Amino acid sequence: MPITTCVFDAYGTLFDVAAAARIAAAEPGRAAFAAKWPQIAADWRAKQLQYTWLRAVSDTHTDFWQVTQDGLDYALEAAGLADPELRERLMALYFELAAFEEVPEMLAQLKNAGMNTAILSNGSPEMLTGAVESAGIGEHLDAVLSVQTTGVFKPHKSVYDLVGQRFNTSPDQVLFVSSNGWDAAYASHYGFQTVWVNRAGEPMDRLPASPQHILADLSGIAKLAGKL
């Protein structure tokens, strides 16, 4: 069946998760952080994701804001920068992450082609609202779906179920797009058509399924969706 609905992961896919650390590093008086920010940003993201997986398998769910704070605390401590003001600033910046530059035009192209568009994210509703409003992309989205309604993080099947429940679509009518290879892989296993946005040129994860398509950024999504 042709694609009717394009669904996007949020963090790292539509929104630049490194932006908070990059912006803070450029601010006056942050020389110590500026010297270490790339590693802190990488550790922050890695722990944020790891904590979602561990909470999912241990049935100890919390919201994404909490695991984002926990990941940052780990990253700052690992870097020897236990600075409460810096922590507060980074969390405030994370709430208003910028979208990648190609996102608004890409979403507009999908809407002009008559596609349903949505976010499906681990993010809490409040976090997603903040990011969508900050990026100015709300007019191009039909829905913003959060795992908070399921009480478990991706890649649990119940999270991907949210798409069909919202749009009354079968999985093969959905193109799911994520910058996380594991997310795209498990969405493929679920039955979605999938795109892995592999911005960093990383190797494929060894998982039960694989993404059907790999792109370097989001600029080709509308063209691909129209062909499927």
- Which amino acid belongs to residue 21? A
Q: Which candidate in 9, 16, 43, 183 is catalytic?
A: 9
Alpha carbons 74 and 64: distance in angstroms, whole number: 15
Alpha carbons 168 and 173: distance in angstroms, whole number: 10
The interaxial angle of helices 64-78 and 37-58, nearest 10 deg, is: 130
Which residues are paired to 196 by β-bridges? 178, 214
- Is residue 172 among the annotated active site residues? no
The one-character DSSP state at 165 is H
Which of 137, 140, 138, 133 lies closest to 112 in space, CA to CA? 140
What's the Cα-to-Cα distance from 99 to each of 12, 53, 84, 132, 224, rounded to whole Å?
9, 25, 27, 8, 21
Rg for the chain, CA atoms, rounded? 17
Alpha carbons 176 and 48: distance in angstroms, whole number: 22
Active site residues: 9
